[in-house]
Homo-oligomer: A and B are copies of this chain.
Amino acid sequence: MDTVLHVALGADLLGVFFFAVSGSLLAARKGFDLVGSLLLASLASLGGGVARDLILNVPPAAFTNPVYLVPPLLATVLVYFVFSRVERGMRVLVVFDAGGLALFCITGTLKALDAGLHPVSAALLGVTTAVGGGLLRDVVANEVPQLFDPRDIYALPAMLGSVVVTVLYLTGTFTLVTGTVAASLVFSLRVLAWRYGWHAPLAVRTPDARSPGVGGGR
């Protein structure tokens, strides 16, 4: 149990950092300034966890432990000094976003299970935590969220990861090793889906829905 808690805290902070970098990279692509970069990094990295904690009715970690502010600050500085080529931003953004997605679906599900939620609800909250920050990031930056991009899959790996973690937890086989394997699986699936354009069927069965739909909606 102690291991679970430590894995959860470490993974949570690492996930916060990954999403924070994705926020600062999007700020760079949109031409925002350093303050906007810090705010978008904070929203992307802390928004999902705050939503999770509000739903669990526990004090949001981001507002009780100031250490959660370090990752967004680091990300803002890192993007400012390291990523000077804005045009390469999307590839790096997707990779960091995938890292946050992988860690948050696991930590979110674990926190929900520890709080005694029904397994189905816990998996749902894990997915909410994982996709919430990135959704907020894209919405406030006035972009169609990556989450809804039909050209690859985004939420499916997080759903899979949340279910896997729930099963591991219920069967008493969640360990540092199995948790790491689950996170790696989610991360790999998301990055491969993006790289090779794996996609799910569209919301309607109309044969020619994809082209006009995307053309009209974007």
Contacts and interface: CB of A to CB of B under 8 A. Distances in A.
Interface of A: 24, 27-37, 39-40, 50, 54-55, 57, 59-60, 62-66, 69, 76, 79-81, 83-86, 112, 117-118, 120-121, 124-125, 131, 135, 139-145, 147-148, 150, 153-156, 159, 199-206, 209-210, 212-214, 216-218
A65 B30 CA distance: 40
A48 to B, nearest CB: 14
Contact of A85 (B124, B147, B206): B206
Contacts of A124: 62-63, 66, 69
B120 A200 contact: no
B118 A64 contact: yes
Given A27-B148, A31-B202, A120 B66 contact: yes
B117 A148 contact: no
Contacts of A153: 33, 35
A35 B54 CA distance: 25
B32 A79 contact: no
Nearest to A85: B206
A213 B117 contact: no
Contact of A155 (B39, B117, B147): B39
B50 A150 contact: no
B203 A121 contact: no
Given A86-B204, A142-B143, A148-B141, A66 B118 contact: yes
B66 A214 contact: no
Nearest to A201: B34
A178 to B, nearest CB: 25
A36 to B, nearest CB: 4
